[in-house]
Chain A
Amino acid sequence: MNQSSGIIVFKNVVWALLNREFKMRFEKGYLSYLFACGEVFIHVLIWWTIFSFMERRPFLDMELPIFILSGAVPWLFFSKSVLTNLTVFEGTKEFLAYKQVTIFAACVSRILVAVVLTFSGFIIGLLVFSYLGYTYFIYNPLIMFLAFFMMLFLSLGVSLIVSIPGYFFPDFTKIFPNVIRVLYFTSGVFWDISSFPPDIKPWLTWNPLLQIISLFRYSFLQAPLPGYINFYYLWIIIIVTLFLGVGIYFCMRKELISNARPRA
């Protein structure tokens, strides 16, 4: 098999798995599509209601729902990708009987499902808030795309890393969602770093998720990017995570697939 046919096979497998993921998730009807896409919107509604009761002032001169939406979209994309890939072996092992199917392709297809769902929710959210009279403008779409691709690569790297212990240690699949919960509260999904005391801020900015979410959010603002967003740091984290994820996967895949294939 030459390189180009390898890529075509990989594309075919991802496409097949993507179709199968959608069929599995939405076999119960069109309402499931609406609910999955509306998850982002529901997330915004919850925090919007809480902040309204608290009479919270808007962050960063943004309309409150747009502020929350711009944090929820990249966050949900990351958390969905990583959490679904935590059990990627269990969910895919029936298909490993076909030599073309790889765990890597399954990871990629699950991330693509998260892309479709969260960004459909993003568009729905923007349309709904526009209809409700909230004003916003994407001043810097390139920054938005950059933040998206950074989150995509980071999600892939983290997904590959967590899928290995997720297979070998079943307890890990119960513990890891708690890490995601902690990250949810420390990644600036529904708050801005400016609202924290100065002595805590430098510690929080080490979180690459916070930096990427801020980057995504600042595409809605005319203001220059804040000083704590460090592109060198972000790319280093992303590249290291990807190398680590791909490296662990390639080192362990033989061990995984030689024992994880279904016994026909």
Chain B
Amino acid sequence: MIKLDKVTKLYKYKGFKHYVFKDLDLVLPTKRNIGLLGPNGAGKSTLLRLISGGETPNSGSIITDENMSFPIGMGQALLAVLSARENVKFVCRIYGKKDKEMEYIVNYVKDFAEIGDYFDQPLKTYSSGMRSRISFGLSMAFDFERYLVDETLSVGDQTFKNKAASVFKEKRAKSSTILASHSMSILKQNCEMGLFVNQGKVILFEKIDDAIDAYMKEVVNQPLRK
């Protein structure tokens, strides 16, 4: 279970305060796959980072008993001047992996990403698709109870999308996910519940279709075609 209790999150810039969430109360059930949807800038990525523990709320608290992944995004949490190999090793060291485990994870990510010699080149030479491959492969190499995925499934070429979907399906057999995406088909394929984020409001729907419907009505301004 993930419980957000009166969570307020804001960003300050040159004296201006931009509130993302104000006194947000939310309970997300265990072992349910939740689709996160909302327009750009609504706070989907911020919510994922708050839940992951990588970012702290300005006030309120987030309580969870689940082993949460780091947010799986476009590779922003990777260092551009280091190679993919070094970045993977860095994350392995943070998670206390020993030499053999580290070697296994490095090989797993290398095989998953299929970027050839680029694996040993600095990340600054990568395209965004290549970064996503590394970021996604890296997170899939670790076992978490809950995966927090930010858009990654909908980027890259078709081969990568298929591969990512297949690995992700395997992982979901043992764990659950919170998946942020603008692709309604990906959300429908992977999630049962829906979390709609818009203008500081966060509404949890028991069925993903209802969340998509709310999104279509409020954001896209057209009803869901079932």
Contact = CB atoms under 8 A, between A and B. Distances in A.
For this complex, into which size category does the number of interface residues on chain B fall?
20 to 34
Interface stretch (A89-97, A124-132, A222-230): A89-97
B89 A19 contact: yes
Interface in A215-264: 254, 257-259, 261-264
Interface in B67-105: 70-71, 73-74, 76-79, 81-82, 86, 89-91, 93-96
Nearest to A11: B96
A94 B55 contact: no
B16 interface: no
Which residue, of B11, B46, B74, B77, has the highest number of chain A Cβ atoms within 10 A?
A: B77
B96 A97 contact: no
Interface in A20-53: 20, 23-24, 27
B166 to A, nearest CB: 24
Interface string A83-118: 000000000001111111100000000000000000
B58 interface: yes
Nearest to A100: B94
A12 B97 CA distance: 9
B190 interface: no
A264 to B, nearest CB: 4
Given A9-B96, A15-B93, A99 B53 contact: yes
5 contacts: A95-B77, A99-B70, A258-B57, A259-B12, A264-B49
Interface of A: 8-9, 12-13, 15-16, 19-20, 23-24, 27, 94-101, 254, 257-259, 261-264
Interface of B: 9, 11-12, 45-46, 48-49, 52-58, 70-71, 73-74, 76-79, 81-82, 86, 89-91, 93-96, 150
